[in-house]
Amino acid sequence: MTKLYKIHYPSPIGILEIIGTTEAITEIRFMSDEEVESHQPNTPQPDLPLVVKKCHTELAEYFTGSRQQFSVALAPQGTPFQQSVWQALLDIPFGQTSTYLAVSKRINNEKAIRAVGQANGRNPIGIIIPCHRVIGSDRTLTGYGGGLWRKKWLLEHEKADIIMSKQLRLKGLE
């Protein structure tokens, strides 16, 4: 069994738990309120791998505005279909958005819009695999595991094309 290493990053939108192996990042997730309440001060494991430290640094750079692209090695676990969707998400440039339909076309499966949405929702490496950049065809912000307010925050942080549009609407938050 592969050993997993964890470190926490106190981002402006909540504490992120970074999980990885000696080779790659396997998960970045928002910690729940309950987890945060019981959260002990971040004492990194003494043998924390370079890739996990690098991810922590790159996230800090992203949140301070000095990084637009990540270079840390990733190893998300999922089905071949999910992997294809997550790979397509990596092609959405910083500051831009795409739609579920466009992603389904990108993976050559135009009829898989719902499956693309489900794969997007199961993305284990949020922010770095930018599922927050996928919006509805009607330009609404739909679905985000970390909450729509975080999705909106991330897009505003990136000054994404949709934020510049006056058509921005939050489904369920209007």
19 touches 160 (CB < 8 A):
no
Relative to beta strand 134-135, strand 98-99 is parallel
Cα–Cα distances (Å) from 165 to 96, 97, 172, in that order, read: 12, 12, 19
What is the biggest distance separating any 2 CA atoms in the chain, rounded to whole angstroms? Answer: 50
131 is catalytic: yes
The total number of residues written for the chain in this structure: 174
Return the residue matching tokens 């309120």: 33
CA 37/CA 69 separation, integer angstroms: 31
C-alpha 5 chain-centroid distance:
19
Structure tokens belonging to residue 133:
């950049």
Active-site residue identified among 116, 131, 134, 154: 131
- Residues marked active site are found at 131
